[in-house]
Amino acid sequence: MRFSVDAHAIGCHLTGNEVYIRNLLNEFAHLDQDSHVVAYISKPNAPEFIPKRFETRWVSDNPYKRLAWDMPRHVAHDHPDLLHVQYTGPLGTSVPLVVSIHDVSYLEHPEYFSTFRATQLKLTVKRTAERAAKILTPSEFSKTAIMRHYGIEDERVVVVPNAVSSQFVPMDRNQAQARIQRKLGIPAPFVLTIGDLQPRKNHMGLLHAFEQVIASHPKLPHHLVFAGKETWYSPRLHEAVAKSKVADRIHFTGFVEDEDVVTLYGACDLFVYPSFYEGFGLPILEAMACGRAVACSNATAMPEVAGSAALLFDPKNTEEMAHMICDALLNPDVRTRLELLGPQHAATFSWEKAAAETLNVYYEVAGAARRVEVAVKAGVA
């Protein structure tokens, strides 16, 4: 079989989209030695993340040129049995299409996007979803939303949960804190959140909750770290922090490379994920895999991901969020319990399993009879 995969997200700092496709490609290389994979890439450093035996094709990082010209041209030349894309497929291709739609926040909360971006996604993802032979999505929450908004039948939408990369492992907290102090200048101890600075991630709510925590427990020595890429929304958050009574305890890292992300998780006392809306919420599992206590939102897909291994709160209720933060920071028994549960829970999610299930979908769409064999290799038959 021959599969083409849109891997333009690799090297673009598109966070979740990049993590997703990088891990799938790496596992494909281990699980399926016979099929040919062609990855369509855009960034100069992308080849270092692509398994050596896979072919690559260069496509523009301009989405209009990539979707209207480059990818249709390559697909016509490569003659794959199918094309796998994320969210938006190219124009004018005749091969079967598999699309990953991680969430439909652009439909349910367009206020989190620029007007142009929300309109673009509404049009292009709808067209892609209607054309797709199969839609992959990481949670039951997202599957229900996709079926509701697009009127797509149950069997065309397949839930394949994301997982944690192998680099996310526990490390000594003191050593991690020392490295973060040296490299990023952030003092310990600290509470951490990770995610692009955008309104959906609810950094503002976390800021206000943290203000309440320090106001009620001024002797707590903790700082708050916002790790994530700056966006159009960043000036509002920076302005709010500048006016905050705890401004001297707030730190911004900007975009963080993979190695430093692992160290940040290892160095924190508590990871908080206060997002309003997630189709999955991968940082929850990453922090757990690093052996750190997690408190996160009880909304959308996040309870599916966190299970019973995290403290849950209403993201719209800063008092409740503050209470959960205090519970973790002031109660060693609570924090220890979460730090023990987290790695066990995160280990139940596997990129190998996700890749095997994705290959199963490929084989089904392509009409091949090899899907059971690949499922057995991944231990998920």
Query: Residues 28-61: pLDDT tens digits?
Result: 999 998 899 999 999 999 999 999 999 999 999 9
Same domain, 304 and 329: yes
- Does the structure show a pLDDT above 70 at 372? no
Q: How far apart are CA 176 and CA 171, in angstroms?
A: 7
User: Between the CA atoms of 325, 326, 332 and 334, what dihedral angle is there, to the nearest 10 degrees?
Assistant: -60
**pLDDT value, residue 259:** 85
- Biggest CA–CA distance in the chain, Å, is 65
Task: Return phi, psi of residue 38, to 5°.
Answer: -115, 120
Q: Once rounded to an integer, what is the mean pLDDT over residues 303-331? A: 98
Per the CB < 8 A criterion, the answer to whether 188 and 267 are in contact is: yes
Same domain, 72 and 156: yes
Same domain, 185 and 82: no
Residue 237 belongs to some domain of the structure: yes
- Does the structure show a pLDDT above 60 at 221? yes
Task: Please state whether beta strands 36-41 and 55-58 pair in parallel, antiparallel, or not at all (unpaired).
Answer: parallel
Residue 360 belongs to some domain of the structure: yes
Same domain, 100 and 143: yes
Element (H, E) at 343: helix 332-346
Phi-psi region of 24 (alpha: psi -120 to 50; beta: other; left: phi over 0): alpha
Residue 85 belongs to some domain of the structure: yes
Q: Name the least confident of 7-16, 111-120, 319-328.
A: 7-16
Q: How far apart are CA 363 and CA 112, in angstroms?
A: 36
Same domain, 130 and 226: no
Q: How many CB atoms lie within 10 A of CB 300?
A: 24
Closest CA to 360 of 17, 41, 24, 18: 24
Same domain, 322 and 357: no
DSSP for 250-308 reads: EEEEES--HHHHHHHHHH-SEEEE--S--SS-HHHHHHHHTT--EEEE-STTHHHHHTT
Closest CA to 190 of 288, 289, 243, 263: 263
DSSP H helical ranges for 9-151: 16-31, 63-65, 71-78, 105-108, 115-131, 140-150
DSSP for 219-261 reads: T---EEEEES---TTHHHHHHHHHHSTTGGGEEEEES--HHHH
Q: How many CB atoms lie within 10 A of CB 209?
A: 27
Please state, rounded to an integer, the average pLDDT across all residues of the chain.
94
Same domain, 146 and 223: no
DSSP class of residue 348 equals T
Residue 168 belongs to some domain of the structure: no
Same domain, 310 and 358: no
Reading the block at residue 179, the tokens are 């490295």
Model confidence pLDDT, tens digit, residues 272-304: 999 999 999 999 999 999 999 999 999 999 999
Model confidence pLDDT, tens digit, residues 346-356: 999 999 999 99
Per the CB < 8 A criterion, the answer to whether 374 and 360 are in contact is: yes
Q: How many CB atoms lie within 10 A of CB 344?
A: 11
Taking each continuous run of H as one helix and of E as one strand, the counts in the chain are 16, 13
**pLDDT value, residue 14:** 62
Same domain, 241 and 119: no
- CATH assignment of the domain containing 157: 3.40.50.2000
Same domain, 190 and 154: no
Strand, helix or coil for residue 39: strand
Same domain, 147 and 253: no
Closest CA to 297 of 273, 279, 319: 273
- Does the structure show a pLDDT above 50 at 377? no
**pLDDT value, residue 108:** 96
- Does the structure show a pLDDT above 80 at 13? no
Per the CB < 8 A criterion, the answer to whether 125 and 106 are in contact is: yes
Closest CA to 162 of 144, 191, 139: 139
- List the domain range (segments joined by +) for residue 288: 173-346
**pLDDT value, residue 370:** 66
Closest CA to 49 of 81, 72, 27, 32: 27
Q: Name the least confident of 246-255, 256-265, 305-314, 362-371.
A: 362-371
- Tell me the pTM: 0.92
Give the C-alpha distances (Å, rounded to integers) separating 381 from 158, 343, 357, 371: 16, 24, 10, 9
Same domain, 26 and 109: yes
**pLDDT value, residue 125:** 97
The partner residues of 254 in beta bridges, in order of sequence, read 227
**pLDDT value, residue 257:** 86
Q: pLDDT confidence of 381, banded at 50, 70, 90? A: very low
Domain count, the chain: 2
Residue 215 belongs to some domain of the structure: yes
Q: How many CB atoms lie within 10 A of CB 119?
A: 13
Q: pLDDT confidence of 371, banded at 50, 70, 90? A: low
